[in-house]
Amino acid sequence: MTIVSIMLVTLAFAGGFAASRQVFFPAPPPEDGAPADWKPYSPLLWEAWGYVQQDFYKTPLDQAAMVNGSIAGMVQSLGDPHTAFVDAKRAAISSTDLEGSFEGIGAHVEMREGRLTIVAPIKGTPADRAGLLPNDIILQVDDTIIQNMDVSEAIRLIRGPKGTKVRLLVQRAKQSAFVVEITRNTIRTPFVEAKMIEGTTIAYLRLNEFGGTAPEEMRAALQDLMAQKPTGLILDLRRDPGGYLSVAVDVASQFLKGGQVVLIEKDKNGVSQEFKARNGGQATDVRMVLLVDGGSASASEIVAGALKDHKRATLIGVKTYGKGSVQNVHALSDKSELRVTIAHFFSPLGNAIDDVGVTPDIEVRNTDDDIAAKRDRQLDQAIEFLKTPSVSQR
Residue 68 amino acid letter: N
**77 secondary structure, DSSP code:** T
Residue 50's φ and ψ, nearest 5 degrees, are -65, -40
Q: Are the CB atoms for 132 and 116 separated by under 8 Å?
A: no
From 87, 253, 296, 298, the catalytic residue = 298
- Give which of 107, 188, 185, 181 is closest to 151, Cα–Cα: 107
- Whether residue 62 lies in the annotated active site: no
> What is the crossing angle of helices 42-55 and 11-24, to 10°?
110
135-147 burial code (b ≥16 CB/10 A, e <16): ebbbbbbeeeebe
From 250, 309, 336, 347, the catalytic residue = 309
Distances (CA, A) of 76 to 73, 125, 329, 353: 5, 38, 16, 22
Pairing of strands 232-236, 288-292: parallel
Q: Is the dihedral of CA 238, 80, 338, 244 positive or negative?
A: positive
Half-sphere exposure at residue 315, Cβ-oriented, CA atoms within 13 angstroms: 25
- Whether residue 298 lies in the annotated active site: yes
Q: Are the CB atoms for 292 and 317 separated by under 8 Å?
A: yes
Q: Are the CB atoms for 61 and 54 separated by under 8 Å?
A: no
Burial class (CB in 10 A: 0-12, 13-18, 19+), 257: middle
- Whether residue 300 lies in the annotated active site: no
Q: Are the CB atoms for 275 and 356 separated by under 8 Å?
A: no
**Distance separating alpha carbons of residues 353 and 350, to the nearest angstrom:** 9
From 308, 323, 325, 336, the catalytic residue = 323
Question: Cα dihedral angle (247, 253, 259, 261), rounded to 10 degrees?
Answer: -60
**Distance separating alpha carbons of residues 360 and 308, to the nearest angstrom:** 8
Tally of CB atoms within 10 A around 222: 21
58 Cβ contact partners less than 8 Å away, ≥ 6 residues apart: none
* Positions marked active-site: 298, 309, 323
